[in-house]
């Protein structure tokens, strides 16, 4: 079948299309229909079905004879360790952790925060929650205590699952002090914490609150899967919005299950049993969908890689993992390939590895620059496919669906909409634009199954953030155009979100932290172009009168502040003190112009600017920190 035929099958009869997907899922009770509109505009899918995600990801494969197949491959160059967990072993481990949670009083609908590094226990923890209907919320290990505290207060977890440490190439990251500080900072206190002690670092436990993972699981009674309504939230995943308050994206059980299963064969072109590797982190949406859930739901083997694309030990790390485990499909962020390309421009390290198993490379998370795409194509000699999606959607919006049909390659585009996504490019007044014209990328409602039906405890914010600007459409926050062939090109964000090494960051959130510095009167954070990470955050701060003497000290203090309050992964290392910020006459900071100055791009003087001389001052100040950069 052609892509067009599949897309039109959906468009002509969405109900039938989505109900058909349900055939691949084990239901306790099949849904009577696909779309539920009773809470419009909070659309939902398969609500009256009864189902369990963990059953579909683990138990049913054991029953179907896949018990001895590896489910998880753990490869950790940072600890020099490797292990394989079969589907049978996974079932046993998951049901015991589920039993631990039940013992600790966790029930269906209770939230559980998972703050763990890239170890099998992180995936086991996620599945254990879904087994008993607890709603997990995984917090990325690179976040600082304050960010964890914000998430604790919003999700109000009954229990937190954690580990003693994460391991970064430059050393151990002890989780326990961060966890203790976060709980101290949070207003809502979890009843219990279960900690997995890693041999690299032992954490002290607080009696009455903290429990040892191994002790608890060894004595636990395994817990079975519970039957859950189709719209039961499987997880909450926080993502950056325009303020420091993250948005809790809610993932519904049944739609997520059916649609992720569909993507494995139809989008990624993968057969059950193959080894699928998403080189991301369980703390991000890619990790949720394609390290944990989709490969397991589809009966694949998934790789949990605790390492980096470079430096652990070299730029051949990805090739080693692919050849060692016969990975057929790799999914990662373009920044990882930029890092590899920079250190090994001729891909000489590939020579030592047998890559015959490798079929396709998928890239997402940020714009894939044509140079990097072509480099990967040239050296890997497999299709390299850019695809576009968001935490909110949980699965691909546009891409090249090689499992259905491989469409002609077009570098710089993210290909075509998947079934369920009626993409419209709109102008500021909400009028549909012609092909080739740049505008806001929107999706006509309803969003397809698996997408977020709302934000956790924030229905109104869901409406104001995503639905209000273009009534009847979901505003993706991305700008771009659709070309004459129907291919979508993602060009930029329309809000204050920036993308640093595939990580989504709110400039507004960073500004809130900088503004808390006692010497800072006002500030702006912008995203400047970076060859490796795509974008880097840069802070421009104005000091309070009387603080002039502290100019030298403020910059390092601001850098330290972001590291402590947001986390090291924000890579905030660029800051400069300026006398004034450029503003419109109505007082709006002109961030866009500063981005252009920092990137060395030409700009038009905005008619509304308050005082054009400020731009000259900004240009001079940026030159003192080496911006714009001279690309050699």
Residue ranges in contact with ligand AMP by CB under 6 A? 239, 285, 364-368, 386-391, 414, 476-478, 490, 493, 499, 504
Q: Which is nearer to ligand AMP, 45 or 389 (CB)?
A: 389
Query: Mind giving me the DSSP string for 539-586?
Result: EEEEEPTT-GGGHHHHHHHHHHHHHHHT-GGG---EEEE-S---BBTT
150 binds, among ligand COA, ligand AMP, none (CB under 5 to 8 A by kind): none
Residue 170 as a binder of ligand COA (CB under 6 A): the answer is: yes
**Residue number with CB closer to ligand COA (395 or 569):** 569
Residue 281 or 478 having the CB closest to ligand AMP: 478
Binding to ligand COA, residues 568-627 (CB under 6 A):
568-569, 571
Task: Measure the CA–CA gap between 479 and 490, rounded to whole angstroms.
Answer: 6
Check if the beta carbon of residue 408 is closer than 8 Å to that of residue 366: no
Q: CB 413 → ligand AMP: shortest distance, Å? A: 9
- Residue 366 beta carbon to ligand COA: minimum distance, rounded to whole angstroms: 8
| Under 8 Å between Cβ of 255 and 230 | yes
What letter would DSSP give residue 287? I
- Taking the least distance from each CB to ligand COA, the nearer of 280 and 424 is 280
- Of the pair 392, 519, the CB lying nearest ligand COA is at 392
Tell the smallest beta-carbon distance from residue 122 to ligand COA (Å): 11
| Shortest reach from residue 368's CB to ligand AMP, in Å | 6
Contacts of 444 (CB under 8 A, 6+ apart): 422, 423, 424, 472, 473, 474
Residue 390 interaction partner, one of ligand COA, ligand AMP, none, beta carbon < 5-8 Å per kind: ligand AMP
- Binder of residue 285, out of ligand COA, ligand AMP, none (CB less than 5 to 8 A by kind): ligand AMP
Q: x/- contact string, 336-365, with ligand COA (CB under 6 A)?
A: x--x-------------------------x
289: helix, strand or coil: helix
Candidate list 14, 142, 417, 448; residue touching ligand COA; CB under 6 A:
142
**DSSP codes joined into one string, 343-382:** H-TT-GGGGGS--TT--EEEE-SS---HHHHHHHHHHH-S
Closer to ligand COA by Cβ: residue 58 or 286: 286
By beta-carbon proximity to ligand COA, the closer residue of 415 and 473 is: 415
Is residue 173 a contact residue for ligand COA (CB under 6 A)?
yes
CA distance 443 to 159: 36
Distance CA(227)–CA(97), nearest Å, equals: 18
Give which of ligand AMP, ligand COA, none residue 170 binds (C-beta under 5 to 8 Å, depending on kind): ligand COA
Residue 282 found at the interface with ligand COA (CB under 6 A):
no
> Which residues ranging from 207 to 246 are in contact with ligand COA (CB under 6 A)?
none
R_g over Cα of the chain: 24
List the one residue from 223, 280, 476, 535 that touches ligand COA (CB under 6 A). Answer: 280
Contacts 24+ apart (CB under 8 A), 428-435: 430/469, 430/470, 430/471, 430/473, 433/481, 435/481, 435/482, 435/483, 435/484
**Cβ 387 vs Cβ 487: under 8 Å:** no
Give, as ranges, the residues between 378 and 437 that touch ligand COA (CB under 6 A).
none
User: What's the closest the beta carbon of residue 363 comes to ligand COA, in angstroms?
Assistant: 9
Q: How far is CA 460 from its chain centroid?
A: 23
Binds ligand COA by CB under 6 A, chosen from 308, 320, 367, 565:
308
Q: Which of 236, 262, 254 has its CA nearest to residue 53?
A: 254
- Out of 297, 303, 333, 416, name the contact with ligand COA by CB under 6 A: 333
Residue 335 lies near ligand COA (rule: CB under 6 A): yes
The distance of closest approach from Cβ of residue 88 to ligand COA in the complex, given in angstroms and rounded to an integer, is: 30
Whether the CB-CB separation of 113 and 137 falls below 8 Å is answered with yes
- Spatial distance between the Cα atoms of 155 and 137, rounded to a whole number of angstroms: 8
The beta strand positions in 353-456, using DSSP E, are: 360-363, 384-386, 398-399, 416-417, 423-426, 439-444
Interface with ligand COA by CB under 6 A: which range of 44-52, 129-137, 188-196, 304-312?
304-312
Among 14, 41, 166, 534, contact with ligand COA (rule: CB under 6 A)? 166
Element (H, E) at 330: strand 327-332
Query: For ligand COA, which is the closer residue by CB, 46 or 115?
Result: 115
Alpha helices in 52-119 (DSSP H): 53-54, 60-61, 87-103
> Binding of ligand COA at residue 310 (CB under 6 A)?
yes
With 0-12 / 13-18 / 19 or more C-beta atoms within 10 angstroms meaning exposed / middle / buried, residue 604 is exposed
Q: How is residue 190 written in tokens?
A: 């979890």
Interface with ligand COA, residue 286, by CB under 6 A: yes
Is 141 a residue that touches ligand COA (CB under 6 A)? yes
Q: Given the complex with ligand COA, which of 247 and 338 has the nearer CB atom?
A: 338
Among 502, 509, 527, 534, binds ligand COA (CB under 6 A): 502
Closest CA to 109 of 282, 260, 250, 287: 250
Residue 17 or 284: which CB sits closer to ligand AMP? 284
Q: Decide if residue 172 touches ligand COA (CB under 6 A).
A: no
Q: Does 309 bind ligand COA (CB under 6 A)?
A: yes
Q: What angle do CA 131, 132, 133 make, to 5 degrees?
A: 100
Site residues for ligand COA per CB under 6 A: 141-142, 166, 168, 170, 173, 280-281, 284, 286, 308-310, 332-333, 335-336, 339, 365, 501-503, 532, 568-569, 571
């Amino acid at each position: 079948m052609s892509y067009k035929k599949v897309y039109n099958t959906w468009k002509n009869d969405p109900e039938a299309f989505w109900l058909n997907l349900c055939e691949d899922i084990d239901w306790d009770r099949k849904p009577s229909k696909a779309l539920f509109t009773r809470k419009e505009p909070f659309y939902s899918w398969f609500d009256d079905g009864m189902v369990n995600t963990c059953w579909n990801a683990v138990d049913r494969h054991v029953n179907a004879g896949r018990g001895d197949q590896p489910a998880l491959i753990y490869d950790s160059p940072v600890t020099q360790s490797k292990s394989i967990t079969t589907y049978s072993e996974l079932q046993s481990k998951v049901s015991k952790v589920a039993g631990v949670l039940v013992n600790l009083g966790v029930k269906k609908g209770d939230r559980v925060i998972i703050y763990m590094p890239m170890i099998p226990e992180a995936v086991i923890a996620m599945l254990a929650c879904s087994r008993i209907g607890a709603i997990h919320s995984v917090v990325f290990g690179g976040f600082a205590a304050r960010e964890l505290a914000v998430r604790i207060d919003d999700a109000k977890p009954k229990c937190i699952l954690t580990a003693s440490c994460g391991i970064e190439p430059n050393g151990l990251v002890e989780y326990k002090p961060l966890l203790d500080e976060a709980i101290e900072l949070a207003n809502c206190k979890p009843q219990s914490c279960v900690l997995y002690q890693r041999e690299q670092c032992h954490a002290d436990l607080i009696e009455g609150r903290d429990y040892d993972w191994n002790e608890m699981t060894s004595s636990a009674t395994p817990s079975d899967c519970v039957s859950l309504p189709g719209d039961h939230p499987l997880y909450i995943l926080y993502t950056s919005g325009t303020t420091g308050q993250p948005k809790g994206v809610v993932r519904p059980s049944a739609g997520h299950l059916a649609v992720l299963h569909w993507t494995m064969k139809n989008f990624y072109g993968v057969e059950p049993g193959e080894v699928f590797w998403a080189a991301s982190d369980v703390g991000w949406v890619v990790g949720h969908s394609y390290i944990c859930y989709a490969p397991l739901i589809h009966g694949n083997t998934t790789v949990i890689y605790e390492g980096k694309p470079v430096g652990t030990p070299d730029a051949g790390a990805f090739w080693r993992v692919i050849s060692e485990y016969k990975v057929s499909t790799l999914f990662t962020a373009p920044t990882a390939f930029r890092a590899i390309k920079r250190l090994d421009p001729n891909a000489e390290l590939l020579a030592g590895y047998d890559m015959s198993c490798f079929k396709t490379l998928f890239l997402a998370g940020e714009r894939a620059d044509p140079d990097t795409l072509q480099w990967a194509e040239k050296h890997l000699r497999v299709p390299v496919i850019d695809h576009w999606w968001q935490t909110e959607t949980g699965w691909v919006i546009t891409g090249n669906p090689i499992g259905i049909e491989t469409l002609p390659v077009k570098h710089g585009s993210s290909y075509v909409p998947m079934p369920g996504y009626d993409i419209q490019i709109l102008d500021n007044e909400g009028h549909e634009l012609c092909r080739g014209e740049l505008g806001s990328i929107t999706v006509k409602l309803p969003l397809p199954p698996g997408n977020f039906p709302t934000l956790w405890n924030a229905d109104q914010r869901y409406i104001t953030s995503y639905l209000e600007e273009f009534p009847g459409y979901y505003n993706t926050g991305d700008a771009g155009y659709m070309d004459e062939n129907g291919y979508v090109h993602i060009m930029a964000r329309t809000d204050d979100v920036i993308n640093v090494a595939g990580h989504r960051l709110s400039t507004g959130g960073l500004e809130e932290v900088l503004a808390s510095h006692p010497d800072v009167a006002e500030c702006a954070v912008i995203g400047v172009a970076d060859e490796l990470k795509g974008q880097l955050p840069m802070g421009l701060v104005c000091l309070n009168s009387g603080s002039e003497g502290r100019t030298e000290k403020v910059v390092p203090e601001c850098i330290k502040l972001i590291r402590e309050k947001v986390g090291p992964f924000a890579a905030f290392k660029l800051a400069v003190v300026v006398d004034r910020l450029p503003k419109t006459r109505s007082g709006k900071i002109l961030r866009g112009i500063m981005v252009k100055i920092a990137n060395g791009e030409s700009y038009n003087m905005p008619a509304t600017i308050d005082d054009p001389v400020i731009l000259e001052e900004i240009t001079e100040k940026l030159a003192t920190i080496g911006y714009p950069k001279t690309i050699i």
